[in-house]
Structure 1
Amino acid sequence: MDYKDLQVFISIAAQQNLGRASQQLHASPSTLSRRLARMEQEAGAILFKRDAQPLVLTPAGELFRQHAEQTLAAWDALRAAVNTEVSDMTGSITLYCSVTASYSFLADLLTRFRERYPKVDLRIHTGDAAESIPRVESGDADVVIAARPEQLSSGLTFKTITPSPLLFIAPRSLGTVPQITQAEIDWSTVPMVLSESGLARTRVNHWFDARGVKPHIYAQVSGNEAIVSMVALGVGVGVVPELVLHNSPMASRVRILNVQPELEPFAVGLCAQSQRLQEPLLQALWQTATR
């Protein structure tokens, strides 16, 4: 259990409603519900009475709330003690990322950055993950959160934050796509829902090419989040990064397929033009991500 889990718990306890807490935390109610279930499993007790509206803490939940508040207060005191220097640096940074990246990385990164550089104006743009690298190459964004492409331009520098496996996903009810219930799947007959472009599409194409298979593409969409939604509707099999699936409100309506060999995982991180990394603002953001 980490500090983010404790912050999520405190918000749910304060709002007494998953919907309101989801708005405050910029995460879907289903994502918060899964995190709460994981906390209850780790704590070994039910923390909220689910049959009550508004949500009510159980006796164990009240003890957990006290623990969470004390732990977070101690953590804030520690951070204040070791980060006494606040910079007077001013200016602005334009950062581009997908919606999923904003859920997974942005809040933590920007919280730490704002603590150190409160006078810097952060301009955040979100959109299709496939547009991330082109945006930083064109200068439309100073820095992006993206998956490292297979061939990184010599003019760019990439800093990995975390890996993310690339997964085949299918509807929860496998009967809606009977082709994948066979012992030996004929992938040429499986309806596929794939991204129009980007790294995931490139790796899926390589996977099929290596097997001499021409995929049956049912739909092509812009954005990985839409793939999860379409697969949940039962139209076919999709391929998405694990981070996308983890943050999707439709995650409970799909299942991960054990497909071998596995697709090469993504390396997700920051990317910027190399010649600009000596600029004070970009250097400050880069160092914040390192810490």
Structure 2
Amino acid sequence: MAPASVRPASVSRILAFSCVDGPGSRLVIFFQGCNMDCPGCHNPQTIGQCNQCGDCVTHCPNGALSLEHGLGQRKRRRCDRRLCQGCDLCLPHCPRSANPNAQSFEVSELVERIALHAPLLDGVTFSGGEATLQRQFLARMCQELDRDPRTAQLGRLIDSNGLLAAGHWPTLLERVDGVMLDIKALDGSIHRRLTGRSNAMVLESARLLARAGKLIELRWLVVEGVNDGDAEVEALVRLWHSLPSPPPLRLNRFRHHGVSARGRALGETGPSTMEALHHRLALAGVSLLPLVTL
């Protein structure tokens, strides 16, 4: 019996090569759409979905964007790939934090794109936005990558915010090698300030993934003066030690580069803060990845 079809995925960007989104050389797929609304997001254009409002059209200096009539009287935003220069000048003008250049892909189309680069890759990382929002597509694509002899050898990782119900993880975990999980804060009120959502499901995901042996990396975006206080650090240490076979922790420094105007209202985190926090966590017995403060 032929497998049931899945809806096409909305993809913000495909990065053909990365050495910072998992081990080795990796192709990264940034799925469009997120279930958090973090002011400090370094990919703010991946948060929302286009509603065809057309506010971006007049801000394209190359005339690549237009509004065209679709079904009935509804207009649809169109991007002419031949004219788009990838300058991103349209991105700040979307009221929904969407990417006017996001594309729709069928499973077969993405598999072919990955296969094209496969000889130079160690793996594929599914990022976003939040990749698990398109979990049915993601599960099917992993299945097809495994079946295709050109891509079967590639490792598969998910970069996730963890905001996924426990019952949805098993289907994905059958098809990927692991998950890199971002935890923004342990305190519920701080987490809501940084993401707009509760952290209960995120913490549940961390424990579930660790029990399954699929949590390969924890990530902590350090926002100085917000989530780097004593109580937060102590709670982070307790969480890490409570996990079975806890993974290495990566500290990421919050910078203003790439963030929205809301994000620039948060202060940048200084290198000295990162170094002190790294040292403190190491003394507490936490396994840490090398610190990068650039």
Shorter-chain-normalised TM-score: which range?
A: under 0.3
Higher relative contact order (CA 8 A, sep 6+): 1
User: Which structure has the highest helix share of the two?
Assistant: 1
Normalising by structure 1, what TM-score?
Answer: 0.25
Q: Indicate the structure (1 or 2) with the bigger Cα radius of gyration.
A: 1
TM-score under structure 2 length normalisation: 0.25
